[in-house]
Amino acid sequence: MEKTLFEKIADGEIPADIVYQDPQCVAFRDISPVAPQHVLLVPRKPIPSLSDAGAEDAALLGHLMLTASLIAEQLGLSGQGYRVVANTGVAAGQTVPHLHFHILGGRTLEWPPG
Ligand code: 5GP
């Protein structure tokens, strides 16, 4: 199986501005940010989307959520608020078939998102 774009970034084969990494996941700045702070948090395991995660991924998903909170704190977003988003599938606008969470902040975020 060919590596996904985000596996290549996680493995250091494609450069990215990495803000956090550990044995289970990597976080890096989005190449096309839509907010002053826009970081992508991806598991090293190439799960295509949230819909493809299974019961065996429960601990990993929990780790990702706690890590999103840690990164938001690291970016100075905890006090003002931030958003964590996983676009899942075509209708939601997912363009990279490797599970990822957008961490967005640094401005007021509208709701509904559109
Ligand atoms: P999606 O649309 O799948 O929810 O999010 C994919 C995100 O990946 C987009 O926000 C897009 O800007 C970002 N992206 C696509 N290619 C690259 C890349 O090569 N490097 C980085 N850092 N981000 C990328």
Residue range 44-98, pLDDT digits in tens: 999 999 999 999 999 999 999 999 999 999 999 999 999 999 999 999 999 999 9
Q: What dihedral angle (degrees, nearest 10) is formed by the CA atoms of 62, 16, 70, 34?
A: -90
Helices (H) and strands (E) in the chain, counts: 2, 5
Q: Among this protein's residues, is 100 annotated catalytic? A: yes
3-state secondary structure of 25: strand
Confidence of residue 28 (pLDDT cuts 50, 70, 90): very high
Strand 101-105 versus strand 82-85 pairing type: antiparallel
Going from N- to C-terminal start, the domains of the chain cover 5-105
Compute the distance from residue 5 Cα to the ligand 1 centre, in Å: 9
Compute the distance from residue 79 Cα to the ligand 1 centre, in Å: 26
pTM exceeding the 0.85 threshold for the entire prediction: yes
Give the number of the atom of ligand 1 that is nearest the alpha carbon of residue 28: 22
Q: CA-based angle 79:39:51, to the nearest 5? A: 105
Rounded to whole angstroms, how far apart are CA atoms 65 and 69?
Answer: 6
Give the number of the atom of ligand 1 that is nearest the alpha carbon of residue 96: 3
* CATH number for domain 5-105, candidates 3.20.20.140, 3.30.428.10, 3.40.190.10, 3.40.50.800: 3.30.428.10
